[in-house]
Amino acid sequence: MKTTLLLLTLSLTLFSGKAQTSTQQEGSRFPQKERTVRIMSYNIRHGWGLDNKIDIDRIGKLINDVQPEVIGLQEVDSVVNRSGNIDILQLLSEQTGMHATFGYSILHDGGKYGNGVLSREKPLAVHKISLPGASEARSALVVELSKYVVINTHLSLKEEERVESAKIISEWAKRYDKPVFLLGDLNATPESEPIKILEKEWQILSNTKQFTIPAPNPNKTIDYVLGYVANGQTYGKHYAHVIDEKVASDHLPLFVDIRLKTDPSKVMRTIPYLQNPGKDEMTVMWLTNVPTRSWVEYGTDPNNMTVARTMLEGVMVANNKIHRIHLKNLKPGTKYYYRVGSQEITRYSSYYKEFGDTVRSEIKSFTTWSDQQRDFRVLVYNDIHSNMRMFEKLHDYVDDKPYDLVIFNGDCFDDVEVESNIMNRLLTYMPSIKSDEVPSIFIRGNHETRGEYSLFLWDYLGRMGGRSYSAFSLGDTRFVLLDCGEDKPDDHIEYSNMNDFTQHRIDQAEFLKVELKSNAYRKAKKRILIHHIPIYGVRPGSYTPCADLWIPVLDKAKEKFNISLNGHTHRFRVIEKNEFNNPFPVIVGGGNREPGGTVMVLEKKGDKLTLQVINTEGETLLEKQL
């Protein structure tokens, strides 16, 4: 039979009331997992219940309880005498707050009778397919939404007409490059010929072991939700359920929860960013928009790379959106090529997993450090706060020459109340500094400790040695990084008795004692101390716990630092050696307002180490040989 395609000019697209969310809390009657799409089907018998009552409200209440994103309804009356001349779909639209689309199959009893679709989203397009039906005309209602298409139908009672209808519907589904779902009363049991034909190109998503008719004592399944798979689509089926509603219709309603594949272009959230650099290691981090399993492919030959994954006690760390792969046992002073890969996980259950597309980044490279490295260029930022425009302006002044490392010295991720406070910074910093080829290190300032989401900040950033303070050698230069914590006492009312930076600073004093006696520190040609809050030259009466704990340790060191780089005060300042009994020069960076913002450039050539400080006007405020 020739397929007839009609633009449904008489379709009803209504929206009334406030749309309800499609993702429900675990305590609801029908809990739903995050990022799943709930698709429902129900033959409503024109609202005529088994109690011989026309009751549209109870159908609407059931739909509201289930909260599907889309529902296909069969046996729908529109202003038909037998159902009281009401427009059933419009009433349900008003009750549920969903868009209504109606496609009639026949004119009947003064009105129209056919199929209806309710959707949270306004349809992009609507069509009607004429299907075989000698004794009663049949049709399928096609509703295209932004991410998927639904085809809702009520097939003939005759086997041969159902077989032909199955073929016609499958041909129609081939037109789309997005997921297509078939919903409805197919008048066919799972083992029948029409279903076997459909299963060649469709996947049954509903639970066929749960019978759907007759409602009081169901003994067979003829209602379905299927997903078209012949176009390469896959579906992570999380839940399929037939609802035990024995009165509202002679059919039982059913729904499925499905996780759709994400468009490959939308899987990655950030470019890779390199963390925790060293002579024989590098950590590669990146974020995805959806849960994935992820890995790094790396090697000295871009055509022959090894795969590295993160395993935790025998199990791959996966089904997450934040990815951290630590590459170990690398060769010092060696150029490595790498790319990251992520494959979306659409279903992660105890005994079964389903996956979406695999996405890989471009091949990039990094070079490990070595003891023989004498030359480097390091950029240091502080107190950017949320002024991303100022950061980009500063970075333009120093991006003209290659650099080996970027250090963010505090208050560059400030007052982290929500995840977007982290992301807005990351999505600016990382592309600007070319983070997929240049490693970066983050030091906490006092503002990084503030805000509800600050507890998760380190999930997004790397910590050298797993701590917020550390030491490392870049060639023959030793860097020591400290974390000053907050700028007020632990018992300050703002902290609600939830801080203990006192102990954190004591721990660092002990760390500093060990570091200053280490071979790596003592044999270094140059030594650089970096922390956010200055400990020298502070105003009398200021709160100075770091100074009280750390200065006595620094005074006892036989080999002194060449320079200390700080921030916090939002005022560029140079404190020369011995000006405040400081055994080395102290440079304090500017703040987050133009023209006072600064970037520091540490550049080493052979034995010569220089520090340059540039402001937002591009002026060189300081050029000092160390």
What is the β-pairing status of strands 235-242 and 273-275? Answer: unpaired
> Strand, coil or helix: what is 117?
strand
**What is the mean pLDDT of the segment spanning 29-54?**
94
In a domain, residue 21? The reply is no
Each residue's pLDDT tens digit, 534-563: 999 998 888 899 999 999 999 999 999 999
Overall number of domains in the chain: 3
Predicted local distance difference test score (pLDDT) of residue 27: 56
Predicted local distance difference test score (pLDDT) of residue 34: 87
Predicted local distance difference test score (pLDDT) of residue 11: 39
Percent of the chain surpassing pLDDT 90: 90
User: 285, 323 in Cβ contact below 8 A?
Assistant: yes
Each residue's pLDDT tens digit, 418-459: 999 999 999 999 999 999 999 999 999 999 999 999 999 999
User: The tokens of 469 are what?
Assistant: 């303070």
Predicted local distance difference test score (pLDDT) of residue 28: 72
- Residue 453 and residue 310 share a domain: no
- Residue 598 and residue 567 share a domain: yes
Each residue's pLDDT tens digit, 248-259: 999 999 999 999
Question: Torsions phi, psi of 507, nearest 5?
Answer: -60, -40
| Region of residue 474 (left: phi > 0; alpha: psi -120 to 50; beta: else) | beta
- Residue 333 and residue 254 share a domain: no
**Rounded CA separation 317/322 (Å):** 10
- Residue 605 and residue 472 share a domain: yes
Quick check: 263 pLDDT over 50? yes
Looking at residue 57, the DSSP 8-state letter turns out to be H
Question: Torsions phi, psi of 503, nearest 5?
Answer: -65, -35
In a domain, residue 383? The reply is yes
- Residue 450 and residue 361 share a domain: no
Q: Which of 314, 347, 367 is the C-terminal boundary of a domain?
A: 367
- Residue 66 and residue 51 share a domain: yes
Q: Is the peptide bond before 179 cis (omega within 30 degrees of 0)?
A: no
| Average pLDDT in the chain | 93
Predicted local distance difference test score (pLDDT) of residue 352: 87
Quick check: 398 pLDDT over 90? yes
In a domain, residue 23? The reply is no
Q: Which of 236, 260, 284 is the C-terminal boundary of a domain?
A: 260
Quick check: 495 pLDDT over 50? yes
Three-state SS string over 201-253 comes to CEEECCCCCCCCECCCCCCECCEEEEEECCCCCCEEEEEEEECCCCCCCCCCC
- Residue 330 and residue 186 share a domain: no
User: The tokens of 160 are what?
Assistant: 């041969």
Other Cβ atoms less than 10 A from the Cβ of 171: the count is 12
23-27, 158-162, 327-331, 597-601: range with lowest mean pLDDT: 23-27
CATH code (residue 537) = 3.60.21.10
**Rounded CA separation 28/19 (Å):** 17
> Strand, coil or helix: what is 11?
coil
In a domain, residue 225? The reply is yes
Each residue's pLDDT tens digit, 475-490: 999 999 999 999 999 9
In a domain, residue 22? The reply is no
Q: Which residue range(s) make up the domain with 310?
A: 264-367
Q: What is the pTM for the complete model shown?
A: 0.85
- Residue 151 and residue 33 share a domain: yes
**Rounded CA separation 245/113 (Å):** 23
DSSP per residue, 489-550: -TT-GGGTT---HHHHHHHHHHHHHHHHTSHHHHT-SEEEEE-SS--SSPPTT---HHHHHH
Predicted local distance difference test score (pLDDT) of residue 22: 40
Q: Which of 260, 293, 313 is the C-terminal boundary of a domain?
A: 260
**What is the mean pLDDT of the segment spanning 516-527?**
97
Predicted local distance difference test score (pLDDT) of residue 174: 96
**Rounded CA separation 186/208 (Å):** 13
Band (pLDDT 50/70/90 cuts) for residue 232 is confident
Quick check: 4 pLDDT over 50? no
In a domain, residue 194? The reply is yes
Each residue's pLDDT tens digit, 270-302: 999 999 899 999 999 999 999 999 999 999 999
Band (pLDDT 50/70/90 cuts) for residue 15 is very low
Predicted local distance difference test score (pLDDT) of residue 17: 33
- Residue 488 and residue 362 share a domain: no
Band (pLDDT 50/70/90 cuts) for residue 233 is confident
Find how far residue 57's CA is from the centre of its chain.
39
**Rounded CA separation 86/422 (Å):** 53
Predicted local distance difference test score (pLDDT) of residue 316: 96
- Residue 593 and residue 557 share a domain: yes
In a domain, residue 392? The reply is yes
In a domain, residue 90? The reply is yes
Predicted local distance difference test score (pLDDT) of residue 98: 98
CATH code (residue 282) = 2.60.40.10
- Residue 177 and residue 77 share a domain: yes
Three-state SS string over 357-407 comes to EEEECCCEEEECCCCCCCCEEEEEECCCCCCHHHHHHHHHHHCCCCCCEEE
Predicted local distance difference test score (pLDDT) of residue 234: 85
**Rounded CA separation 577/566 (Å):** 15
- Residue 161 and residue 232 share a domain: yes
- Kindly give the interhelix angle for 388-398 and 419-432, rounded to the nearest 10 degrees: 20
